[in-house]
């Protein structure tokens, strides 16, 4: 009987200590944890005179998640993906419920391509260019609706500013300002 009481008391004590430890949050958060806490943070982005509200996906875990599991986005909202280098890109729609336009943007900030992407399509939408540094996702028809055409530009200075506002260093994305 004494053994049972000891085990039971030890187990309860362990659970109490575990719960107290779980409530304690005095450690310094990493950059990615800070960013994840601001998941729905929007930034103003001017795209050749068109004002959009964008979420920034600059960390690898943010880029992997993208707009997955969302039921909708507003007409003037989107997600801007920022990469360290200009490369060929391929975006897919795993767990993405919203039909999207995917705009591939060069290292100099010029919109080179726009592709339509269907919900849950795993085949991927590849870029033709090998110099894609930014990707903007809008609701299907968003580029046309806003008059954003091939050759339209985003400001690299503005993207640098957005990165800074989010607590990220633009130099890590090869943006000097």
57 within some domain? yes
As for how many domains the chain has, the answer is 1
**Is the pLDDT confidence value at 28 over 50?**
no
Question: 24 in a domain, yes or no?
Answer: no
Examine residue 136 and state whether it is found in any structural domain, yes or no. yes
Candidates 86, 44, 39, 94; CA nearest to 68 is 94
CA end-to-end span of the chain: 71
Q: What's the domain range around 152? A: 31-173
How do residues 88-120 score in pLDDT, each as one tens digit? 999 999 999 999 999 999 999 999 999 999 999
Q: How sure is the predictor about 9, in pLDDT bands with cuts at 50, 70 and 90?
A: low
Q: Say yes or no to pLDDT of 40 above 70.
A: no
How many Cβ atoms sit within 10 Å of the Cβ of residue 53?
13
Q: Which residue has the higher pLDDT, 17 or 73?
A: 73
Residue 15 resides in a domain: no
Instruction: Tell me if 21 is assigned to some domain.
Output: no
Residue 145 falls within a domain, yes or no? Answer: yes
In a domain? residue 3 = no
**Is the sign of the CA dihedral 27, 28, 30, 34 positive or negative?**
positive
**Residue 148: band (very low, low, confident or very high) from pLDDT cuts 50, 70, 90:** very high
**Distance in angstroms (rounded) separating the CA atoms of residues 147 and 160:** 24
Q: What is the pLDDT of residue 176?
A: 74
Instruction: Examine the pLDDT at 74 and tell me if it is beyond 60.
Output: yes
Q: Residue 19: its pLDDT value, please? A: 39
Where does the pLDDT of residue 26 fall: very low under 50, low under 70, confident under 90, or very high at 90 and above?
very low
Q: What is the model's pLDDT at position 10?
A: 52
Complete DSSP assignment for 44-90: EEEETTEEEEEEEE-SHHHHHHTTTT-S---TTEEEEEEEEEEE--E
Supply the CATH number for residue 97's domain.
2.60.120.1140
Pairwise CA distance, residues 146 & 51, whole Å: 9
In a domain, 147, yes or no: yes
- Percentage of the chain beyond pLDDT 90 is 76
Q: What's the mean per-residue pLDDT of the chain?
A: 84
Average pLDDT over residues 162-168: 96
């Amino acid at each position: 009987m004494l053994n049972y009481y000891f085990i039971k008391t030890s187990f309860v004590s362990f659970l109490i200590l575990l719960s107290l430890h779980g409530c304690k949050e005095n450690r310094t958060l990493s950059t990615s944890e800070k960013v994840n806490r601001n998941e729905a943070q929007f930034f103003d982005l001017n795209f050749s005179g068109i004002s959009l509200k964008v979420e920034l996906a600059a960390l690898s875990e943010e880029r992997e998640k993208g707009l997955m599991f969302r039921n909708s986005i507003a007409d003037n909202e989107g997600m801007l993906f920022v990469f360290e280098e200009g490369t060929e890109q391929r975006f897919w729609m795993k767990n993405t419920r919203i039909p999207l336009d995917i705009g591939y943007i060069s290292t100099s900030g010029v919109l080179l391509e726009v592709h339509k992407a269907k919900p849950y399509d795993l085949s991927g939408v590849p870029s033709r260019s090998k110099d894609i540094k930014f990707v903007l996702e809008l609701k299907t028809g968003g580029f046309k609706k806003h008059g954003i055409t091939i050759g339209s530009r985003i400001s690299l200075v503005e993207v640098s500013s957005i990165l800074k506002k989010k607590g990220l260093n633009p130099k890590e994305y090869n943006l000097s300002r």
